[in-house]
A and B are shown apart, each in its own frame.
Chain A
């Protein structure tokens, strides 16, 4: 009996290991938080800043939607700070708690998606509102994340159940009735994902010390990445310069 005792546990553990390795890619929260974490802070700059802002043609339901409006695809402050860039740290397998909202709210106001870009955690439930007096069709485009197309009539809402936003990635949001409407949902891979503010400033805290890649994505300027070193208890300063 003793001789077979290693075959059965070996087979079982091989099986469990096989299944377990599928889960290895997912982010894990460290119980008790990150001890001696570091921080990164900085700005996303566009150099040189754009000369003119692109205008969107608003030509349907103008009584409700208003007239032509500036596009939100690239919002740059006077100092060259880029708003709504997505900054994330790549390569962190375990770290701090998520701290993302347990529910999201996404609105359509005056034929505009509010917010233009929403950062969200996968599998979060939420509500999509139509605060306008006109119908919109809520149409998302993604690769295996959340691809839906539903008519939401005036002043109505749509419930998004838990587990419907399937996995990390980028979702493009549009309305076919009002073709200028454009929005984004960025489904974060880890809680180490933030948006830059209207001055282009950002900061990410409680990062386990180590060497990682800092990734920046902006809807018009595309993506860029840089190596970053995080030391315990220290703040790494990182300004990222983008170009058109």
Chain B
């Protein structure tokens, strides 16, 4: 009798164990999601995260169960592979970063957690399988010409325009499912910005399954197989000359080399010819036509000092903020001081840290650079003749004393550095460090549409980071284009990268 009771109890416990295990795995996925995804996609997965107001396109509302990039027919939920692909690659030209540095196990767990926000994934019996995509035939002038005919027959020109520029007759009236204005893709921008992917198969998949949630429909019943590939070839021909070529996929690892001679602030220091160059892709928080889409980064560590070098394209030099309509060019690095590893489990949210982990930011500003090299610039410089009635004489040192006494960084009229050191525990908490801790120096030169900037720091100062050999530091970069009005949360950002000291 006792054995039978024991048997029944064990069987009951055995039945309870799998649900308990699932619960345990969910907790880890939930933690990862809340840490890295919720600020945009919302704790409830409804796209109403605290940072959502800074973003365009808006983060996906998972509770609606509607997904853009799928290999399944329109109206069907995406496959796990579809979600993993979007998660790993990110979406170019949008704030959605690439999460390729997360482990496969974590990626799968996050996909399951994201799916749990909508019950469309539950009716597995009625789900339709992904469409078949065969090998693409070779592109020829004939297939491109035929593709142009298909483009017109299918009325693609009504939205995408006769030349594929996204300027069709209906383009200005288009709204997405949430009634927000949305523009059709301008194919002439280039293949690098096709959100669903730019390969022949990806283009095929996009118009065959449609982009659910947007006005882009599925053409699955409209075309014969031959016509589909002709259309793909025409689209490819429209975009081939576009400037936005595909950026390197995935999140780069930054390698800092150790050198025997301390690097200087000099932009032409020979050490930069030896240091490896990382091409870091940047994403705009608010999508637009021209943003800083990539930046070259190099890092060198000497015995006593470390230097970071940046190079990025910017058509116009913006080095003043005096008038209300002036915004400056800038570049910044962000790292987690005291980080043990660059593993995603331990690092804070990319948007300037979170309550559990602070980040340190070094922010180089073009206008502070102009202050250092050309003398401090205050309102009198821009509005001199208008300033007759000014009560405070800004040429008198005394005008700055109260501000300087309160450690206001804008009251430093003898600016020593073009770099400001700040700390943050989440966006909205950005704080400048006291003057004694402002030990990072900078040098920046704009020439012929390119900014080159070096940030220079003495190691073992109160301000980190400690860059010891073999260390792996979570590291990110951001850039601002003054001509586009970039400032604060309007900027281009990288994903968390691993900075490895070799």
Contacts and interface: CB of A to CB of B under 8 A. Distances in A.
A192 interface: no
A163 B123 CA distance: 9
Nearest to B179: A141
Interface string A122-161: 0000000000000101111101101111111100101001
Interface stretch (A2-10, A96-104, A218-226): A2-10
Interface in B112-141: 118-120, 123, 125-126
Contacts of A152: 221
B218 interface: yes
Given A11-B12, A148-B75, A151-B217, A1 B4 contact: yes
Interface residues of B, number: 44
B217 A60 contact: no
Contact of A135 (B1, B74, B155, B215): B155
A141 B214 CA distance: 10
Contacts of B218: 149-151
A3 B219 CA distance: 65
A98 B66 CA distance: 29
A141 B126 contact: no
A4 B1 contact: yes
Interface string B296-336: 00000000000000000000000000000000000000000
B179 to A, nearest CB: 9
A213 interface: no
A144 B215 contact: no
Contacts, number: 99
Contacts of A143: 63-65
Interface string B429-470: 000000000000000000000000000000000000000000
B217 A144 contact: no
A156 B220 CA distance: 13
Contacts of B177: 141, 147
Contacts of B215: 137, 139, 149, 176
A176 B120 contact: no
A150 to B, nearest CB: 5
Contacts of B64: 143-144, 147
17 contacts: A11-B12, A15-B15, A137-B215, A147-B65, A147-B75, A149-B210, A149-B211, A149-B212, A149-B214, A149-B218, A150-B75, A150-B218, A150-B221, A151-B217, A161-B126, A163-B123, A163-B125
- A-B pairs with lowest CB-CB distance, top 3: A148-B75, A176-B215, A137-B217
